Each structure stands twice: as C-alpha cells, then as structure tokens.
C-alpha cells in the first residue's frame, strides 16, 4: 500500500515536471513575450528594439533559454515560483489572494452539481425507459452541450427581465464576510457551472444503478419484501455511487475550465481569472506557477480518488 502510494506520487511528480517543461518551452521558445506585449499595448512613439531589449534584460528574458530553464527548475525544487512580471509580487502571494475565491466558487459548483445529479440519476435509473427517464436524460444531453457562458448569460437575462436582484455586487465579498451578498454574486455562476458538471455524474450514476439493480441481492431484498425505498437507498445506491467517485478527477478539471469563463464573466478575482490574465499578458512566472498548481490539483485529486476508492470498497485491491 505504502509502496503503491509512493510509486504513484513519484509518477505524478514526473508528470508535473513534464507539465512544467511543456509550459516553459511553450512560452519561452515561441516569439513574443511580456516585454514586447507591454509595448504593443502602449502606443508610445519611442518604442525601439533597444527599449524592448532593455525591458527584457530587466526581466531576465535575455539569457539563453536553457539557462533560464535551469534557474526555473532550481527555483521550483525550492518551491519558489518567482514573482509576477505585472504586479511584482510573488506568485504565492497572488495565489493566496485568488485561491479562496476559486475554492468558494468551486465548492458551490460541486454542491449544486451533486445536488442535481444524484436525485436525477436515481430517478432516471428507477424509472428506466419511462417518461421521467427520457426527460431527465434529454436534460443531461442538453446540459452537456450547452456552453457554460451561454447558460450563465441566460441566467443574467432572466434576472434582468424580472429585476430579481443586483448581479454586480460591491467589494468582492467572501462567503464568510457577507454570506448574503456573496451568494447573490455567486448564484448565477454556481448554477451555470453546476448544471454543466451534472451530466457526466448523472449518466454514470444511472448506468451503475441499472447494473446493480440486476444483482441477485437486489432480487433477494425484493423477495423478502423490503420496501422499494429501502432497497434503492440501502442496497442499490450504496453499491452504485462509488464508481461515480472515479470521475471526480475529471469533474475537477472540467470545473476549473468553466471557472476561467465564469470568473471572467462575473469579475471573481480567482485563479481562473488570474490565469487568463497571465496568458493574455504573457506574465510568464505567474502563468507557469498557476498552471503547475492547477496540474498539481488535477493529478493529486486523481491519486486521492484512487486511494479513497480502495479505502471505501474493500473489493478493490490496489495492484
């Protein structure tokens, strides 16, 4: 067991090193950088190649690529992600400000997602090939196809049409600071993101439940006259929900993707928005740091899910 964890962790670190290398060379080898980008934005008369070169020298972008790569890796081993070109603050500092917002919104999205997906998956399986099943599956097909920025826009349209509440709130409050105002701010993005993440979970839960419903012990439970409710909740759901966990890693990646869009749309100063800014401004250290942190979350969520799986289901042995 310990050996397994160790081996997986080492493999994950290897994967993260490849991620770091890919990002590094993607942003360093291809033309254009932060210095050039800055001058492209500012419409100054005296932008000479020398001025750009000077700016590059200040940022250390003039050194040979492999020297920069070496420094980058060496800093990385010491958990030093460098400082943002734009804000001149350390990447960890930027992360410290952004992460709480992203976790808040992410957790809300997951909550909404599961609150919808679990009952929908159960009903769809229990009423297999009946009207509710068709309607719910149709809904899932729709939710999988609808872009999150579109569902969020529809949400905004509805709120504006009926003048329900103010979407732009002041002061970017956290949930623990001003729960009411924060929830008002998060309401549309959390539902848009939640709905987008339900389809996969719901479909998997449904197919798993259908499989378990055919098991002998369910027949036995029926034969001994247990109420249907008990059978579904105690015997079927208990055995069906575990595989749903395995897609959590995938779900996390999807949610991070939709958070980039939602944070951008609703001015949430989270990781997704920061990442988008880092990409557009070519803020290399910030970009590398953020991508690595996101990749870290994804690969270790997968490891965690696999371990949890073995822990919760003794039938699964880790090889």
Going by the DSSP 8-state scheme, the letter that residue 169 receives in this structure is -
Contact 282, 6 (CB under 8 A): no
CB of 281 to other proteins, least distance (A): 10
CB of 279 to other proteins, least distance (A): 5
Identify the three-state secondary structure at position 218.
helix
Rg, Å, the chain Cα set: 24
Taking residue 124's Cβ as centre, other Cβ atoms within 10 Å add up to: 26
Apex CA 310: angle with CA 308 and CA 316, to 5°? 150
- E-assigned strand segments in 41-116: none
Closer CB to other proteins, residue 15 or residue 47? 15
CB of 142 to other proteins, least distance (A): 6
Closer CB to other proteins, residue 92 or residue 276? 276
Q: How far is CA 278 from the centre of its chain?
A: 17
Binding positions for other proteins, rule: CB under 8 A: 11, 14-16, 18-19, 22-23, 26-27, 30, 32, 141-142, 144-150, 153-154, 156-157, 160-161, 204, 207, 253-254, 256-257, 260-261, 264, 275-276, 279-280, 282, 287, 291, 294-295, 298-299
Contact 47, 246 (CB under 8 A): no
CB of 1 to other proteins, least distance (A): 22
Going by the DSSP 8-state scheme, the letter that residue 33 receives in this structure is -
CB of 156 to other proteins, least distance (A): 5
CB of 100 to other proteins, least distance (A): 20
Contact 287, 278 (CB under 8 A): yes
Closer CB to other proteins, residue 126 or residue 148? 148
β-bridge partners, 90: 83
Give the separation between CA 11 and CA 3, rounded to whole angstroms: 12
Closer CB to other proteins, residue 156 or residue 226? 156
Closer CB to other proteins, residue 160 or residue 311? 160
Closer CB to other proteins, residue 74 or residue 142? 142
């Amino acid at each position: 067991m310990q050996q397994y964890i160790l081996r997986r962790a080492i493999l994950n670190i290897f994967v993260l090193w490849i991620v770091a290398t890919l990002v590094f060379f993607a942003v360093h080898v291809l033309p254009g950088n932060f210095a050039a980008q800055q001058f492209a934005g500012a419409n100054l008369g005296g932008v000479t190649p020398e001025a750009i070169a000077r700016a590059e020298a200040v940022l250390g972008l003039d050194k040979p690529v492999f020297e920069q790569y070496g420094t980058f890796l060496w800093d990385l081993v010491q958990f030093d992600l460098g400082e943002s070109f734009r804000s001149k603050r350390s990447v960890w500092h930027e992360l410290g400000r952004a992460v709480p917002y992203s976790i808040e919104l992410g957790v809300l999205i997951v909550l909404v997602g599961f609150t919808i997906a679990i009952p929908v998956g159960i009903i769809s399986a229990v009423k297999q090939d009946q009207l509710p099943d068709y309607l719910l599956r149709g809904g899932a097909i729709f939710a999988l196809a609808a872009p999150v920025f579109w569902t969020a826009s529809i949400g905004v349209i509805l709120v504006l049409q009926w003048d329900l509440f103010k979407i732009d709130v002041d002061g970017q409050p956290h949930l623990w600071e001003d729960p009411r105002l924060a929830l008002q701010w998060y309401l549309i993005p959390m539902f848009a993101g939640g709905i987008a993440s339900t389809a996969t979970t719901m479909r998997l839960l449904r197919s798993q439940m259908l499989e378990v419903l055919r098991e002998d012990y369910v027949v036995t439970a029926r034969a001994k006259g247990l109420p249907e409710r008990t059978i579904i909740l105690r015997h079927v759901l208990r055995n069906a929900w575990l595989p749903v966990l395995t897609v959590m890693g995938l779900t996390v990646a999807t949610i991070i993707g939709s958070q980039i869009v939602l944070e951008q749309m609703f001015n949430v100063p989270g990781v997704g928005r920061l990442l988008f800014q880092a990409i557009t401004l070519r803020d290399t250290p910030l970009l590398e740091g953020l991508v690595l942190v996101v990749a870290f979350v994804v690969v270790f969520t997968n490891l965690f899910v696999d371990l949890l799986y073995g822990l919760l289901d003794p039938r699964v042995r880790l090889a």
